[in-house]
Amino acid sequence: MISEEKIENNEILGGLEEAGLSKYESSVYYNLLGKGMISATEIAYSSTVPRTKIYSILKKLERKKLVLINYQKPLLCRSISPQEAFNDILNKYENKVNGLRKTILNLQQVNEEGLRNRGIEEKKYFVLNQFSTVNKIIDLVKKSKESIDAMINPWGNNLLVNSKDELVKTIIDGTRVRIIFDNKCEYDDKILPNAIEKKYSKITTNIFIFDNYHMLILDNSGTKSSLIHSNEIFLSIIKNQFNELWNDNEKNMAKISDSKKLLSNI
């Protein structure tokens, strides 16, 4: 079994190679650290670099300003501190990264401008697995400040139950919660808060809307969902459908109530 120290050493040596050092150069520099002035023979032994190559490796490291060499006999060398030795390399990489970021930003602007000129606007959404969906519902319920609207079938109802404690708290804090349950759902007042405004209809797709901005749509298999952050066209369409269904339900309930009153007067 490989020890943690061995794994860490390999990661450090790999990092040195990514910084531009060869395998032998990385090993020699790493084994020089913390030893002060030592002979070329000693460093060849501790770094497992062939003695025939150690002098050429040390000279390469000297040219890269990573070691200091005393050319008196016996030849002695020591490492330059990593912070000092790699400062120029770090600056070089940082300049490259900053330049790449600027290039990517310019490319993104070109892409967005081209799409706008064609009347196209790019939007993104996230696909969550079942476990992440449950956690995201709990998180969004907890963070809601104004409203939670949902259309849910029995599967969505099961997921909602996982956030019952958060629902109670957000309702107490003033968030309005309206849920249209599928006719097949069984609402349990002992599990979900009484303060939830609820209606019933035929619901096939589970949709949650938080603060009129975050929207979570569950697929029918119940294995994943789509999380959309938007206050534009897609969300407004879904919200209008919710409001229409909610208001139609109220009208139907009013008609039923009027019918019952009429029958009682006969």
Asked, as a colleague might, if the bond just before 74 is cis with ω within 30 of 0, I would say yes
Mean pLDDT is lowest, of 5-9, 53-57, 110-114, 245-249, for 5-9
Averaged pLDDT of the chain: 83
What distances in angstroms separate CA 8 from CA 4, 11, 13, 14, 24, one per listed residue? 6, 5, 9, 10, 17
pTM over 0.85: no
Tens of pLDDT, residues 101-141:
999 999 988 888 887 788 777 777 788 998 899 999 999 99
pLDDT at residue 1, rounded to an integer: 45
> What is the three-class DSSP state of 21?
coil
Tens of pLDDT, residues 155-164:
888 888 888 8
Tens of pLDDT, residues 176-223:
999 999 988 877 666 777 888 988 988 989 999 999 999 999 987 778
Out of 1.10.3720.10, 3.10.20.600, 1.10.10.10, 1.10.4080.10, select the CATH number for domain 4-85: 1.10.10.10
pLDDT at residue 219, rounded to an integer: 85
> What is the three-class DSSP state of 126?
strand
Sign of CA dihedral 193, 197, 203, 206: negative
- CB count within 10 Å of CB 32 equals 24
pLDDT at residue 2, rounded to an integer: 46
pLDDT at residue 209, rounded to an integer: 94
Q: Which residue has the higher pLDDT, 265 or 194?
A: 194
pLDDT at residue 172, rounded to an integer: 92
pLDDT at residue 255, rounded to an integer: 45
Q: Tell me which amino acid residue 151 is.
A: M
Tens of pLDDT, residues 93-103:
889 899 999 99
Average pLDDT over residues 166-175: 92
What CA–CA distance (Å, rounded) separates 133 from 197? 23
Q: Do the beta carbons of residue 21 and residue 41 sit within 8 Å?
A: no
Contacts of 243 (CB under 8 A, 6+ apart): none
pLDDT at residue 116, rounded to an integer: 79
| Percentage of the chain modeled with pLDDT above 90 | 25
Q: Do the beta carbons of residue 198 and residue 181 sit within 8 Å?
A: yes
| Percentage of the chain modeled with pLDDT above 70 | 88
Average pLDDT over residues 61-88: 88
Q: Which CATH class is domain 126-265?
A: alpha beta
Mean pLDDT is lowest, of 50-64, 69-83, 183-197, 205-219, for 183-197
Report whether pLDDT(7) > 70. Answer: no
pLDDT at residue 189, rounded to an integer: 67
Give the pLDDT band (50/70/90) at residue 91.
Answer: confident
What CA–CA distance (Å, rounded) separates 54 from 28? 8
